[in-house]
Amino acid sequence: MGALEKIFYSPVGHAVANRAGLADPPKLRRGRTWTKGAVVLAPIGSSTLAEETLALLGLQTSAPIVDVPAASPPGYGSRIGALVVDATDLSTITQLENLRAVLRPAIRALEGSGRIVIIARESGGGWESKSVARALDGINRTVGKELRRGATSNLIYVAADAAPSDLVSTLGFLLQGRSAFVDGQSWHVATAGGSVEQLDDQPLLGKVIVVTGAARGIGASIARTLARDGASIVAVDIPAAGEGLAEVANEVGGTALQLDITAPDAGTVVAEHVARRGERIYGVVHCAGITRDKMLVNTDADRWGSVLDVNLAAQIRMNEALLDPDVAGSVMDGGRIVGIASTSGLAGNKGQTNYAASKAGVAGLVEAMAPDLAARSITANAVAPGFIETAMTARIPFVQREIFRRTNSLSQGGQPEDVAETIGYLLDPASAGVNGQVVRVCGQNLVGA
Ligand SMILES: NC(=O)c1ccc[n+]([C@@H]2O[C@H](COP(=O)([O-])OP(=O)(O)OC[C@H]3O[C@@H](n4cnc5c(N)ncnc54)[C@H](O)[C@@H]3O)[C@@H](O)[C@H]2O)c1
């Protein structure tokens, strides 16, 4: 602990920080847990999509609020756990008033770590309905910033013909504690045509999932979380991290593979490892990553090239080998690829041009891969973590670190498991309609989210 940290955590320093609104952020609900209070369903119009999806989740909802009178917004009486707004029929500016009317009392009524989830149609139709679809994004982002006590707001755009079975994994994820650090976000759910009837607690049972960078930090947490959900883990990391790697692999009952992912044949080596056991890969999580921070004026070709190679080029080379159906042990049809971007890449971050390039590149990569892999029902998505409490962020100087850690809607850094849970959601076979998306796990960073 540095000198400044000692002051911050001393009783006097803590009291001062408290007054400045810097101490004791809310404790977040995590894991496969539901809200304590009721889930309130508010359909704006006659759509039953949200109602049917909540039924698949086995959730009892309180009486639906329909035709909310604009002049007298309803009170919820007592604390509520979540408000799910079915806005799939909402397409006019006038109807936005109904949304205001149901959201307004929910802001006060939501319990700690409560949830607002708005479900909307992908923008279609004329100028007004397209504008309104986008207006929902502005509303969601703002509500996320106004909520307190660890409550979050998120928005899901669903395809015109999406069915409850397409939405069940996403709505379940957002209502559960697994989405603790996902706030103010929106992403798209397409029609996958599956027949998911419920949320599975072990959706990855028996599935082989390769996790790179698994020896520590976020990668180790991903291995643990996916193993909890039933996956058989192939943990990959550099030989220098062999000890940590073996510990993680043993702990999760998986296998360890010491490998530098920048090796030209890294993809083939991974596939051979899996093929030797007579198996095929279901999912690949590209978590290995490095930083070599310097202002651009001080960034030499070495710092530039090493970061781009580990964080982006190696991933592309591995994907090419692992997605070749003729390679034994490679990714099966219906499989999953998940990359790790970063809010530094999406928003830019001083001193990280090389890192931002590589991480924005990961977002571009999954967007490019998604349509190409759709014919094999393989999805490619990325998560973009903000400030996560790991060895990587522990190296940031104290004052800068404290600022990064606090400047988000939840006033705290995320935990590695928050990233891992979001990856678990993307890997779920029930998330087949989520493809080419980048989901930020950043507590709604005030910058760039
Ligand atoms: N910690 C954060 O706040 C944060 C934020 C955004 C994104 N990320 C990303 O999340 C991922 C994990 O971050 P972390 O904080 O756990 O980092 P970390 O440094 O604790 O762990 C990274 C792991 O990757 C491994 N690795 C590095 N180069 C490798 C190579 N060539 N071959 C194989 N393995 C290699 C390392 O040995 C290490 O075990 C990284 O991609 C990072 O960029 C982290």
At 43 the three-state DSSP class reads strand
Ligand 1 atom nearest 286 alpha carbon: 41
State which H helix or E strand residue 381 sits in.
strand 379-385
**pLDDT above 50: residue 130:** yes
Report which residue type is found at 187: W
Average pLDDT score over the chain: 91
pLDDT recorded at residue 196: 78
pLDDT category, 20, cuts 50, 70, 90?
Answer: low
The answer to whether the pTM exceeds 0.75 is yes
Class of residue 173 by CB neighbours under 10 A (exposed 0-12, middle 13-18, buried 19+): buried
> Which residues are catalytically annotated?
355
Determine whether the shortest distance from the Cβ of 393 to ligand 1 is under 6 A: yes
Segment 167-180, tens digit of pLDDT: 999 999 999 999 99
pLDDT recorded at residue 292: 96
More confident residue, 183 or 101: 183
- Mutation to probe ligand 1, out of 390, 419, 445 (largest number of atoms < 8 A from CB): 390
pLDDT recorded at residue 65: 46
Structure tokens at 441: 């796990």
Tell me if 167 sits within 8 A of 189, measured CB to CB: yes
**pLDDT above 70: residue 214:** yes
Determine whether the shortest distance from the Cβ of 215 to ligand 1 is under 6 A: yes
pLDDT recorded at residue 298: 98
Tell me if 411 sits within 8 A of 147, measured CB to CB: no
Distance 286 CA to ligand 1 centre (A): 9
DSSP state of 448: T
Least confident interval from 70-74, 91-95, 399-403: 70-74
**Distance of alpha carbon 295 from alpha carbon 271, whole angstroms:** 38
Ligand 1 atom nearest 314 alpha carbon: 31
**Distance of alpha carbon 267 from alpha carbon 222, whole angstroms:** 20
pLDDT recorded at residue 315: 98
Distance 379 CA to ligand 1 centre (A): 22
In the chain, the domains with their CATH numbers are 38-189 (3.40.50.720), 208-441 (3.40.50.720)
**Distance of alpha carbon 165 from alpha carbon 53, whole angstroms:** 7
pLDDT category, 366, cuts 50, 70, 90?
Answer: very high
> What is the C-alpha R_g of the chain?
22
Determine whether the shortest distance from the Cβ of 408 to ligand 1 is under 6 A: no
